[in-house]
């Protein structure tokens, strides 16, 4: 018995040694990745505009807000397929795994919220990819139940922030029709309907790899 427990203790200690606890994160100033210097952000945005004349920051930010609504609906319905059209392939697969794991323990999110502010807090562009970190300030109520008991958050109105990271290839440019964040295929322009394998239902183009247009690449919430 002891011999079986000792290796587990070793594993626990190694995990512990490499772990930053959420409590620690909550007490530190770094609840979310710190914002970059505004001058750096402005320079990166200028770089994006220089190669993509159609880039419209307001429309992009608004599209992220729309994507958030889609993902929220999918999360509350426990149906990952509803979020297929906005998340990158990998993020969507992990999102699906997560919803399955949550469903197995009857986890439900109760949320009614609205975005009250949005700001680009980081922007990067290199020869391979472009990435924007958009910080959304949200107001509303959110909490999660498992087997009917609260396990995260609590009822009542609150204000919080979330980072939505979008990414695309450095060669991609904004489609004339607005693209994925506007709910349209960046390749054929049809209303975006994505097959389960990640291709557009009409033109079969791979649209959620980030090669042609912005995709939601990461969703980061401060501990709550």
Partner 1 sequence: MVKALVIAGDVIGFILLAYLLAWAAALAVIAFLGIVLIVSRGRSDAVRNAFRHAVAAGAPAGSLRAGPVAPPGRGVGVMPAIRKLQAADPGFDLTAFLDNARVAVGAYAMAYLAEDDRLLRRVTTPGFWQTPNGKEVAAIVANWQRYAGSRPGTANRGRTVLDISWRRPEVTNVALAEQGMDRITVRLASLTIVVPGPGWHRIDAATQFDWEFVRPAGQRTDPGSVLLPRTCASCGGPYHSDLDDACRYCHTARADTQAGWRLDRNYLVVNA
Task: For residue 197, report the phi and psi dihedrals to the nearest 5 degrees.
Answer: -85, 0
C-beta separation of 164 from 33 below 8 A? no
Does 40 bind partner 1 (CB under 8 A)? Our answer is: no
Instruction: Round to whole Å and give the CA distance between 1 and 101.
Output: 30
C-beta separation of 170 from 129 below 8 A? yes
Q: Which stretch binds partner 1 (CB under 8 A): 20-28, 47-55, 57-65, 176-184?
A: 20-28
Does 51 bind partner 1 (CB under 8 A)? Our answer is: no
**Residue (42 or 151) nearer to partner 1, CB:** 151
Q: How far is CA 179 from CA 69, 141, 167, in A?
A: 17, 31, 13
**Of positions 1, 3, 58, 105, contacts partner 1 by CB under 8 A:** 105
**Residues with Cβ < 8 Å from 33, sequence gap 6 or more?**
121, 122, 133, 163, 220
**Residue ranges in 130-189 that form contacts with partner 1 under rule CB under 8 A:** 144, 146-147, 149, 151-152, 167-169
**Of positions 1, 3, 20, 29, contacts partner 1 by CB under 8 A:** 20
Nearest distance in Å: CB 38, partner 1: 16
Task: For residue 36, report the phi and psi dihedrals to the nearest 5 degrees.
Answer: -75, 165
Count the site residues for partner 1 by CB under 8 A.
61
Does 75 bind partner 1 (CB under 8 A)? Our answer is: no
Three-state DSSP at 113 gives strand
Closest CA to 211 of 196, 195, 200: 200
Nearest distance in Å: CB 43, partner 1: 15
Q: Summarize as ranges the residues that interact with partner 1 (CB under 8 A).
A: 9-11, 13-25, 27, 33, 88-91, 93-94, 96-98, 100-102, 104-105, 107, 126-129, 144, 146-147, 149, 151-152, 167-169, 195-199, 206, 209-211, 217-221, 223
């Amino acid at each position: 018995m002891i011999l079986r427990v000792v290796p587990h203790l070793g594993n626990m200690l190694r995990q512990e040694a490499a772990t930053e606890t959420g409590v620690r994160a909550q007490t530190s100033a770094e609840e979310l990745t710190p914002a970059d210097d505004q001058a750096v952000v402005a320079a990166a945005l200028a770089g994006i505009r220089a190669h993509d004349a159609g880039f419209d920051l307001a429309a992009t930010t608004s599209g992220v807000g729309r994507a958030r609504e889609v993902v929220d609906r999918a999360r509350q319905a426990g149906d990952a397929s509803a979020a297929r059209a906005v998340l990158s392939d990998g993020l969507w697969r992990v999102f699906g795994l997560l919803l399955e794991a949550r469903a197995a323990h009857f986890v439900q999110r109760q949320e009614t919220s609205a975005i009250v502010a949005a700001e680009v807090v980081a922007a990067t562009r290199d020869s391979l990819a472009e990435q924007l970190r958009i910080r959304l300030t949200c107001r509303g109520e959110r909490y999660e139940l498992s087997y009917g008991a609260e396990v995260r958050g609590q009822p009542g109105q609150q204000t919080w922030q979330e980072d939505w990271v979008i990414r695309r290839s450095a060669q991609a440019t904004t489609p004339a029709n607005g693209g994925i964040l506007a709910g349209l295929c960046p390749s054929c322009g049809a209303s975006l309907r994505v097959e389960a394998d990640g291709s557009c239902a009409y033109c079969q183009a791979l649209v959620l790899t980030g090669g042609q247009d912005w995709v939601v690449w990461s969703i980061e919430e401060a501990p709550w």
